[in-house]
Amino acid sequence: MALSVSCSSSSVFRQIRRDKKKIDQWRDVQALVERVGVPSIAGTPLESLRKGVWVKLICGASFEDVVDVRNLSLVYTLAGVDCIDCAADESIVGAVREGIEIARQIVPIRSPWVMISVNDDEDLHFRKADIHVLIAGGRGIISVRVLSCFYYICFLEEFNAEDCPPDCSRPCETVCPANAISLRKGGVITERCYGCGRCLPVCPYDRIRANNYVRSASTITQLLRHNVDAIEIHTSARDVDLFKELWSNLGECVGRLNLVAVSLPDLGDSTVFSMNMMYSVMQPYLQCCNLWQVTSTTHLDGRPMSGDIGKGATKEAIAFAARLTAVEGRPHGFLQVAGGTNSHTIGKLKQVGLFRKMQTVGSLEEPRSLISGIAYGGYARKIVGRVLHKMRGKRGTPLIENYPECLFEALQEALALVGPVKCYKFPISE
């Protein structure tokens, strides 16, 4: 379980005021936000959805590095995202909230919605890697270990990273985008692993396995009562009974939310049918707006698509969105593109004529965009993560507000990604 990190914002600013260089660098951050035109407290996430300029940061349903989540939330709040999606864990939600609050003390900016991700069945976004070790001619003994008081993950009981063959080139360490594997530190760093699966096919000794888990309903409902604005349900959409069971367990808590999102894959001709079935389950108790997150399919080896693997990763998500917007009979709700999204996604949306393309839903409703926005995950974490990596190893907890030069650099990266969707003023640097 991730440890909570708390930092007194007043003490941070007292420390900065004693350092003239840091004061000037804070001014640079504030000037950058003002220069590009990041929305003030006047704008709302709902307006962004309607206009087609909604941006969501995906911290990761399984990513539980509390310091990185906090720093990412701070940076992308300054960049003007509308929503931050994180793991359904109390300490992670707290880290997101803390990052948002520090950002708003640096610049008076509106707060993005905080969303938690849950799943109604096994899902590739809800897994972590573990390494199997040969013991006495067989596999290690599988046990169930409590990762927190809320949910369970299957792990091998016995693991010693030193048992990996000494001649192994350790490609798992190299390929991991989250720096979540370090044999010097004992193997898989659980809180950093978000289950991308890239380590699975590269292990020459087949020692790595993925462990799936399902968050308990009691965890979810407890979080929904405190400091959470939205929920996203990941579903295969093939078994509506599982979806119905989860929705029933959420109970009256959904009435407190600003947004209910459902993330589903491309099911071909049955996609819209499945969407309508799930909407019929939600509709009687839905008191807020709803959103459909259309995600690209996974790689052939089972790994979820991620935008940080290259330019072409975004093509399937755009194609799926284009097909879905052309189909009649879709249920009510906003549409958001996700899965493989990166800096090329907005250009692809423009190429197919879907960026900010408006439609009139009903005679009494104002026009809204066919595609409401984009969710950025692996790519968004990667470009800012390069800056966060520079702070690791520094004395104390690497909180990015203590390193204004790193914050300025990270914010430039974030604005370069968020800005084209938000139609900010460019260039971001003078």
The DSSP secondary structure of 289-341, one letter per residue, reads EEEEEEEPPPPTTSPPP-GGG-GGGGHHHHHHHHHHHT-TTPPSSEEEEESS-
Please tell me the distance from the alpha carbon of residue 9 to that of residue 246, in angstroms, as a whole number. Answer: 38
Please tell me the distance from the alpha carbon of residue 372 to that of residue 42, in angstroms, as a whole number. Answer: 19
**How high is the pLDDT of residue 32?**
93
Q: How far is CA 129 from CA 203, 209, 214, in A?
A: 12, 6, 15
Burial 113-142 (b: 16+ CB within 10 A, else e): bbbbbbbbbebbbbbbbbbbbeeeeeebee
Q: What DSSP letter does each residue of 4-25 carry, written as one string?
A: P----HHHHHHHHHT-HHHHHH
Q: How far is CA 330 from CA 260, 268, 270, in A?
A: 16, 14, 11
**Which residues of the chain, if any, have pLDDT below 70?**
1-23, 41-42, 122-163, 177-178, 180, 184-186, 189-198, 201, 209-217, 296-312, 361-365, 393, 395-396, 427-430
Whether residue 265 contacts residue 236, with contact meaning beta carbons closer than 8 Å, is answered with: yes
What confidence tens digit (pLDDT) does each residue in 77-111 have? 999 999 999 988 888 999 999 999 999 999 989 99
What confidence tens digit (pLDDT) does each residue in 308-321 have? 455 667 888 899 89
**How high is the pLDDT of residue 130?**
46
**How high is the pLDDT of residue 316?**
85
**How high is the pLDDT of residue 18?**
54
